[in-house]
């Protein structure tokens, strides 16, 4: 299986109208699954 170079998420009032939207929580979730974070960027920095 080939790994994608990048994944783009388009969520939060664009495609889905989500009343309760917490972008920080979503970013933390995505970063927790990242296989590589060479600059050690936190969710708050994103």
Q: What is the pLDDT along the chain (46 residues), one digit of tens a residue?
A: 788 888 877 766 666 666 777 889 989 999 999 989 999 999 999 8
What is the pLDDT at residue 27? 93
What is the pLDDT at residue 18? 66
Q: Is the separation of the CB atoms in 43 and 28 below 8 Å?
A: yes
d(CA 46, CA 41): 7
Phi and psi of 28, rounded to 5°? Answer: -60, -40
Q: Minimal CA–CA distance to 36: which of 8, 9, 11, 6?
A: 6
What is the pLDDT at residue 1? 78
What is the pLDDT at residue 21? 75
């Amino acid at each position: 299986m080939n790994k994608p170079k990048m994944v783009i998420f388009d969520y939060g009032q664009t495609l889905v109208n989500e009343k309760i939207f917490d972008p920080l929580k979503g970013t933390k979730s995505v970063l927790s699954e990242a296989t590589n974070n060479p600059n050690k960027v936190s969710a708050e920095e994103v």
